[in-house]
């Protein structure tokens, strides 16, 4: 066991140490799971956490452990915990911490660190780095605990900072010496702090609610946009009531899909361009006007003078970030939506019939256009053929969690696969980051106990693929489907120089990713047709056994950057 424990003096019963105090502080605050990678100075700490009944999920790389922690935060509203070693482990976890902050997921990155005296004099300690200074620029808050007596308050501060207001990533720096520091056990116990109401309700001002309802009432072509903040809030019933009582068409952002079913009669997902361009009043619920919504202006949005925005967000400075917000409603989503519901009263006039008709006929037209493509049995498979069968599988298994990343694999799956329940779709989030797939899949399985279907581009999977060993080791009900088109966007590019190196976007042709999982005792399947894919996924979802399916796609099937090729910079000069 712990070296420190072995070295303790005889009177150990009256004493405690940093190891135990950190564990006690985490347990007192309801931490049940830690995602991390062991090593100096946190190896014994991880063992002791496991011994004390905290579930410790050991990963192969800290970045994936961090993504798992961030998704645990999204799914549970409790900060997900990632534990790493110093310098390199810390840096590996830091990407995930920044990702959590950008996405407003509560997460705490706890990293061991080297001796302060040596680090501060830059004397070259083992894994020396001023981690606190670096972390500060990349997360919501960062703290360091130097004394055992401050562990309680340090942990409490980290939890509250991560979960309250707009949630985000928090860094907690624990120098190696802290773990072995000894103090009186009774005083140690008293120093612990239980965080009461980590994310207090923030009630919107009544006049803000009234203003919003007045603007909404004036609408001829209203639209509600649901963001992942709305999914995070777990105010599912209230949100559904607000949408249904107003009768307004709604558009879910990708991780808000399923908050109301994508098949709901008011869902405008398949008429996105129409509703964005033509709506006159848009109510944003937990959705930001960032690049994913074209900043609320420009071609996507049509005439700027004929539109007003109502925005519901917990962060006041989100308002007017890109365009004028006619009716800002600041507060937590649950409280704001409840207040709006109350303000609606018993009789709210439905939106004008011609608007509803415009939206539904566009939606039905687009859905009908797509239908035959999803039934194709092309050989080699294309995205639509493969996604057509996965769409049906998800429909038949609405409790399963869908994880999705890639470029074409992401953009097409997002549009094609309907989601039926809240927080059942996890993806690349605000940054469009590659590599979140396996961490998200692992956290989803651990936190919810539900089966997971991860649809991964072959490139996206490469960022986190080694974690299939983790999936096998913990025997998690995860089925990974790799859309293998031999590369990034496509597998058909050629080296423009005519040299023998492959093009920058292509991978080994005909790679057999299914063989990888067999190395760890999982089930590997090579699927070359929609029928084979369907059979293999259904078998995996029924058995709950770790499975990896190599779905062989036409290497020419994808398009550059999926649906966001327009973001690639262009020069006025001709390409060479």
Ligand X SMILES: Cc1ncc(C[n+]2csc(CCOP(=O)(O)OP(=O)(O)O)c2C)c(N)n1
Residues that bind ligand X (CB under 6 A): 406-409, 432-435, 457-460, 483, 485, 488-489, 558, 562
What angle in degrees, to the nearest 10, is found between the helix axes of 151-163 and 18-28?
40
Contact (CB, 8 A) for 228 and 74: yes
Note the Cα 45 to chain centre separation in Å.
27
The listed partner (Mg ion, ligand X, none) that binds 546, CB under 5 to 8 Å by sort, is: none
Cα distances (Å, whole numbers) of residue 195 to 186, 385, 565: 20, 50, 46
| Identified binder of Mg ion from the candidate list 131, 181, 191, 485, rule CB under 5 A | 485
Nearer to Mg ion, 294 or 505 (CB): 505
Nearest to 182 by CA among 146, 145, 144, 148: 148
Burial 508-520 (b: 16+ CB within 10 A, else e): eeebebbebbeeb
- The least CB distance from residue 237 to ligand X, in Å, is 35
Verify binding: residue 457, Mg ion, rule CB under 5 A: yes
CB of 509 to ligand X, least distance (A): 14
Q: In whole angstroms, how close is the CB of 426 to ligand X at the nearest point?
A: 16
| Given 44, 332, 458, 514, the residue binding Mg ion (CB under 5 A) | 458
Smallest gap from residue 435 Cβ to ligand X (A): 5
433 binds, among Mg ion, ligand X, none (CB under 5 to 8 A by kind): ligand X
> Taking contact as CB under 5 A, which single stretch among the options 62-70, 146-154, 200-208, 482-490 is the one that binds Mg ion?
482-490
DSSP state of 430: T
Q: Minimum Å distance from CB 525 to Mg ion?
A: 18
> Which segment (77-85, 195-203, 322-330, 456-464) binds Mg ion by CB under 5 A?
456-464
Place of tokens 């302060």: 116
Contact between 108 and 168 under an 8 Å Cβ cutoff? The reply is no
Report d(CA 430, CA 266) in Å as an integer.
25
* Residue 434 Cβ vs ligand X, minimum distance, rounded to whole Å: 4
Which residues have a Cβ under 8 Å from the Cβ of 463 and sit 6 or more positions away? Answer: 434, 435, 437
35: partner contacted, choices ligand X, Mg ion, none (Cβ within 5-8 A by kind): none
Name which of 229 and 435 has its Cβ closer to ligand X: 435
Q: Which is nearer to ligand X, 392 or 561 (CB)?
A: 561
Buried b (16+ CB within 10 A) or exposed e, 335-356: bbbbbbbeebeeebeebeeebb
3-state secondary structure 286-340: CCCCCHHHHHHCCHHHCCHHHCEEEEEECCHHHCCCCCCCCEEEECCHHHHHHHH
> 472 is in the binding site of which of Mg ion, ligand X, none (Cβ under 5 to 8 A by kind)?
none
Q: For ligand X, which is the closer residue by CB, 22 or 433?
A: 433
Instruction: Determine if 404 is a binding residue for Mg ion (CB under 5 A).
Output: no
Closest-CB residue for ligand X? 457
Task: Please state the closest distance from residue 173 (CB atom) to ligand X, in A.
Answer: 25
User: What's the closest the beta carbon of residue 427 comes to ligand X, in angstroms?
Assistant: 12
Instruction: Find out whether 390 and 232 touch, Cβ atoms under 8 Å.
Output: no
Q: Which residues bind Mg ion (CB under 5 A)?
A: 457-458, 485
């Amino acid at each position: 066991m712990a070296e420190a424990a072995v070295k303790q003096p005889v009177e150990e019963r009256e004493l405690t140490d940093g190891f135990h105090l950190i564990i006690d502080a985490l347990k007192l605050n309801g931490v049940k799971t830690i995602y991390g990678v062991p090593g100096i100075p946190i190896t014994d700490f991880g063992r002791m956490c496991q011994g004390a009944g905290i579930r410790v999920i050991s990963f192969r790389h800290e970045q994936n452990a961090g993504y798992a922690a961030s998704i645990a935060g999204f799914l549970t509203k409790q900060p997900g915990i990632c534990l790493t070693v110093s310098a390199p482990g810390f840096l590996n976890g830091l990407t995930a911490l920044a990702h959590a902050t950008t996405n407003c997921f509560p997460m705490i990155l706890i990293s061991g660190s080297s001796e302060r005296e040596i680090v501060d004099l830059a004397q070259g300690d083992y894994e020396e780095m001023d981690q606190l200074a670096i972390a500060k620029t990349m997360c919501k808050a960062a703290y360091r605990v130097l004394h055992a007596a401050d562990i309680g308050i340090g942990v409490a501060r980290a939890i509250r900072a991560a979960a309250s207001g707009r949630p985000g990533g928090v860094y907690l720096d624990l120098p190696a010496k802290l773990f072995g520091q000894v103090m009186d056990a009774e005083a140690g116990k008293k120093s612990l702090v239980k965080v009461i109401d980590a994310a207090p309700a923030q009630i919107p001002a009544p006049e803000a609610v009234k203003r919003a309802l007045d603007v909404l009432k004036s609408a001829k072509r209203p639209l509600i946009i649901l963001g992942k903040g709305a999914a995070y809030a777990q105010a599912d019933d209230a949100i559904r009531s607000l949408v249904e009582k107003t009768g307004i068409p709604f558009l879910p952002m990708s991780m808000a899909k399923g908050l109301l079913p994508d098949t709901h009669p008011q869902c405008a997902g398949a008429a996105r361009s129409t509703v964005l361009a033509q709506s006159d009043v848009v109510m944003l619920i937990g959705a930001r006007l960032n690049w994913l919504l074209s900043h609320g202006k420009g071609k996507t949005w049509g005439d700027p003078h004929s539109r007003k925005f109502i925005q519901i967000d917990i962060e006041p400075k989100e308002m007017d970030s890109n365009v004028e917000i006619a009716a800002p409603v600041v507060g937590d989503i649950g409280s704001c939506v409840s207040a709006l519901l109350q303000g609606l009263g018993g009789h709210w006039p439905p939106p004008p019939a011609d608007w509803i008709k415009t939206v539904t006929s566009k939606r039905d037209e687009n859905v009908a256009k797509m239908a035959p493509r999803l039934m194709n049995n092309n050989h080699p498979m294309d995205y639509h053929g493969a996604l057509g069968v996965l769409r049906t599988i998800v429909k038949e298994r609405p409790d399963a969690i869908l994880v999705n990343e890639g470029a074409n694999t992401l953009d097409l799956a997002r549009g094609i696969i309907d989601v039926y329940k809240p927080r059942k779709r996890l993806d690349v989030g605000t940054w469009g980051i590659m590599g979140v797939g396996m961490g998200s899949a692992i956290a989803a399985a651990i936190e919810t106990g539900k089966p997971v279907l991860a649809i991964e581009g072959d490139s996206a999977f490469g960022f986190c693929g080694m974690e299939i060993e983790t999936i096998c080791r913990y025997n998690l009900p995860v089925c990974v489907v790799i859309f293998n088109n031999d590369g990034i966007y496509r597998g058909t590019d050629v080296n423009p120089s005519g040299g023998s190196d492959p093009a920058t976007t292509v991978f080994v042709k005909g790679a057999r990713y299914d063989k990888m999982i067999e190395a760890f005792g999982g089930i590997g399947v090579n699927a070359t047709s929609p029928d084979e894919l369907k059979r293999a996924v259904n078998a995996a979802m029924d058995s709950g056994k770790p499975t990896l399916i190599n779905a062989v796609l036409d290497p020419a099937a994808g398009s550059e950057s999926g649906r966001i090729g327009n973001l690639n910079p262009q020069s006025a000069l001709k390409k060479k």
